[in-house]
Chain A
Amino acid sequence: MNVLEQFHDWLIDYWPSWAAYLVPALVAFVVLSTFVLLVVMAFIYIERRGVGRFQVRLGPNRAGPFGILQPVADAVKVLTKEDIIPAAGDRWVHWLAPVVAFIPALAIFAVIPFEERAIFTDLNVGILYIIAISSLGAIGIFMAGWGSNNKYSLVSAMRTMAQMISYEIPLVLSLAGVLIITGSLSMVSIVEAQHVPFFLLQPLGFLIFFIAAAAEIQRSPFDLLEAESEIVAGYHIEYSGMKFALFYLAEYTHAFAICAIVATLFLGGWHGMLLPGALWFMIKVFLVFGLLFWVRSTLPRLRVDQLMGFAWKYLFPLALINMFITAIEAIIWPEFPWQLLIPNILIAALLIVLWSGFFRVAGERVSFQRYGRGIIKGLTVTFSHLFRRPITVQYPEQRLTPAPRFRGNMLVWDHDACIGCRACARACPVSIIDIETIRGDKRLIVEKLEVDFGRCLFCGLCVEACPVRALFMSRDYEQASYRREQLVVSKEQFIAAEKRPSAYFYPDLEAEMPPQTLLAPPKEKG
């Protein structure tokens, strides 16, 4: 009996029966949705800061201590913005779309057990209900795509559709393993069956579910329907103000729901030592979410055909194989002892590596040996950024450290060493060095030297061509002006300029060079 039923049983002694039904339901709805929205705000904050760290940025840090008020500031901004409806769009569909996208995401929480008794309703068909409901958000995205009367929105809606059809099947099939072991569709009994967390007993199912779920909620690397670089922002291109915010909320609510489902089905739900169950559950949810945005901040977006190929040719067969293996194991060992986790993990690893050998996208073999190592390496790189000290280079005052193979911009010209041989002008592939000489007493004197840095490639061939060490690349990289003519540097300017030659082509200069540090000392605090 859950808390809600207890509340109802207590209330029924005092109030008429319809009120005793309605009041606990309403109270639970308000509490649940408030809690979900609070967690979603925390998610948004954590993700923005976390992705910032993964990508060597700071993330929002101005509103409140550590930028903790950023979600509030965003909400205020979004609420006060103008609501724009496209004139040629379908008004009603456009208006209804964010609501239709948001409600299914919230409705999933009805069957999520936060603790043994803290569940809205323990549906007998809980997991089926989740699968049925969570695919409905796509209809909201359709409506947005259609109602906006915008071709990018429509393209995005089509992509959503194709993506949903492709990933729904591996998603459902990967759950079959869990259901075979548990023998029930109810979320509470699935948690109760997990003496060993199912991600150990069902490693393949867990991975497939996680990937397919990330695709289902359109998280990067599967965020094709938003793909800023291709279709601008996809379905919410024509949305502004509160309606846009609702889409944003729907996305994160759905992400929370998926994390909660993974925590329930594969990580043992509220099971845990010492701490109260609900706390364990939330810890697991946040861990899964961390995994989601770790992947998001590492991997690039997939192409449409890669996405389809991945779902149909890789995830789908693996999910089927996983289901068969689990079914056979369940027939031989109906109790499903924990020792099975060892063969299961081995089978999962073997299948992932072997099946990747068959898997082709656009005629190209996509083997684990080629891409899997890259993915893992990328993940470790972004993870290592988490432990970097967040230091912002105060750029105009402080110089950036150039990369080791940085040749330098601009040129440094040594007037006295130059013999006026014009080798540099002949070597220049874009002919921007204009040099004129007159005959002097012993050697040629440079009369005119003009270099148009607006067209310079910084290839360094002029430096290599110079026979007498009169030309160097420069370590200056600040090159900006308001007029193009100012980028043409004349002889007088070369002579007057401060000389900071780089070690390009003259490695012996490296030792004499002052360490690459500051132009001006950093501002002292206080």
Chain B
Amino acid sequence: MDVGVTASFWVLAVVGVASALAVVFLRDIFRAALFLVLCFFAVAGIFVILSADFLAVAQVLIYVGAIAVLIIFALMLTRETQRGSPSGRFRFLAFLVGAVFLVAMILVVTGTDWQAITEAPTEPTTSSLAQALFSEEEGFILPFEIAAALLLAAIIGAIVLLREK
């Protein structure tokens, strides 16, 4: 493998893991949210290294551009964020759920037989992605449309629920 790719992988991996840890351990929620943005960026960078350019851009577009921004916006509407996140009544329960999730993740990661793909990545990615999603023969056009209809129904439902009040 190329030296440059390896070097950037390690940089991105370290940044990603470190910022993920910062998200969990920082008491200042706003800074934690900013580290979340950094973490998303590191993941996008790793997608770039894997020649998944569309995925990388979608990662930035959706996770950084929409989700992180919404989280920050919610923070701004929250009272007493300056005091950080005080531990709540569900401390023990949260720990339990977290521990179970962690164990499950470790088991899955160690138990999977990871195989590196040897063939060269497809280029360009967009058209093959579009084929996989939308083509009529072997695509996922029906699930895609159903998902779109579901999301639309959810949005309209949310609006209707709010309007009634």
Q: Which residues of A contact B (CB under 8 A)?
A: 17-18, 21-22, 90, 92-93, 123-125, 128-129, 131-133, 135-136, 138-139, 142-143, 146, 154, 157-158, 161, 164-165, 168, 184-185
Contacts and interface: CB of A to CB of B under 8 A. Distances in A.
Given A136-B64, A138-B69, A154-B76, A185 B34 contact: no
Contacts of A185: 126
A158 B76 contact: yes
Given A128-B57, A129-B57, 11 more contacts: A90-B31, A92-B31, A125-B53, A125-B57, A125-B125, A132-B58, A138-B69, A154-B76, A157-B76, A161-B73, A184-B126
Interface in B55-102: 57-58, 60-61, 64-65, 68-69, 72-73, 76
Given A125-B126, A136-B64, A93 B4 contact: no
B106 to A, nearest CB: 33
Contacts of B69: 135, 138-139, 142, 161, 164-165
Counting contact residues on chain B (CB < 8 A from A), the size range is 20 to 34
A132 B76 contact: no
Interface in B30-44: 30-31, 34, 37
B72 A132 contact: no
Interface of B: 2-4, 28, 30-31, 34, 37, 53-54, 57-58, 60-61, 64-65, 68-69, 72-73, 76, 123-126
Contacts of B124: 124
Given A17-B2, A125-B53, A139 B72 contact: yes
A161 B70 CA distance: 9
A190 to B, nearest CB: 13
B3 A135 contact: no
Given A124-B125, A158-B76, A93 B60 contact: no
11 contacts: A18-B4, A22-B4, A90-B28, A124-B124, A128-B54, A128-B61, A131-B61, A132-B61, A139-B37, A161-B76, A165-B69
Q: Which A-B residue pairs are the 6 nearest by beta carbons? A: A132-B61, A132-B60, A124-B124, A135-B65, A128-B57, A125-B57
A18 B68 contact: no
A125 B72 contact: no
A124 B54 CA distance: 8
A133 to B, nearest CB: 7
Nearest to A88: B82
Name which of A133, A142, A185 has the most chain B CB atoms within 10 A of its CB: A142
Given A18-B4, A138-B69, A161-B69, A90 B30 contact: yes
B39 to A, nearest CB: 14
B68 A132 contact: no
Contacts of A135: 61, 65, 69
Contact of A93 (B31, B64, B73): B31
A90 B82 CA distance: 10
Contacts of A125: 53-54, 57, 125-126
Contacts of B76: 142, 146, 154, 157-158, 161
A125 B61 CA distance: 12
Contacts of A136: 60, 64-65
Nearest to B7: A18
Name which of B31, B34, B123, B126 has the most chain A CB atoms within 10 A of its CB: B34
Contacts of A154: 76
Contact of A123 (B2, B4, B53): B53
Contacts of A143: 34
Given A18-B3, A90-B30, A132 B126 contact: no
A168 B65 CA distance: 10
Nearest to A158: B76
A133 B2 contact: no
Nearest to A172: B61
Contacts of A139: 34, 37, 64, 68-69, 72
B40 to A, nearest CB: 11
A93 B57 contact: no
Name which of A128, A133, A143, A168 has the most chain B CB atoms within 10 A of its CB: A128
A9 to B, nearest CB: 16
A21 B4 contact: yes
A410 B31 CA distance: 63
A139 B123 CA distance: 32
B4 A124 contact: no
B82 to A, nearest CB: 9
A132 B63 CA distance: 10
B163 to A, nearest CB: 15
B30 A93 contact: yes
B10 to A, nearest CB: 15
A299 B26 CA distance: 45
Contacts of B61: 128, 131-132, 135
A127 to B, nearest CB: 10
